[in-house]
Amino acid sequence: MPKVAPIPSGGGSGRGMRGRRVNVSLAEINIIPLVDVMLVLLIIFMVTAPMIQRGIDVNLPVARRAQAITGERVEVTVPITYRSDHMLYLGTEKIRAAVLQERVRQKMEGAAQKDVFLRGDKGVNLGEVMEVTDALKAAGVEHVGIVAAPVTER
């Protein structure tokens, strides 16, 4: 509610008789709409976050003596579609098999350990895995590890 200035004691008539309005700025912020908007945004991010975190679909073979991999690693994934399009993944980036050697060489340039972990779908045959392994060895990789899924107890 705006404040009204007191009437001057001169006792004039006309416009001077009415009190003048004095503008006062509101120093209060209404928090309720801000909280509503923040809650809606929180719900939106909670719903969409699992959709963003989707990885590469690969059906890994199962191994009884698989060990957990620790530390930073370079992964090359050979999907089942490698046979038809010769595309594979370096980390999460989809690349052609022809440029794999150069890209791995660039990635391994400053690395102390020149190890690469190879993930392959069950349906990929040994010849296709060997093509990728040969390209990795030509890029200067010292050790190529094969990633397998651990056996789950039933």
Strands 115-120 and 143-146: parallel
Long-range Cβ contacts of 81-85 (<8 Å, 24+ apart): 82/124, 82/128, 83/124, 83/125, 83/128
The 10s digit of each residue's pLDDT in 81-131 is 888 898 999 888 899 988 988 988 888 887 777 888 888 888 888 888 888
pTM exceeds 0.85: no
The 10s digit of each residue's pLDDT in 3-53 is 666 666 655 555 555 656 666 666 677 888 889 999 999 999 998 887 776
- List, in order of start, the domains of the chain with CATH numbers: 3-52 (no CATH), 62-150 (3.30.420.270)
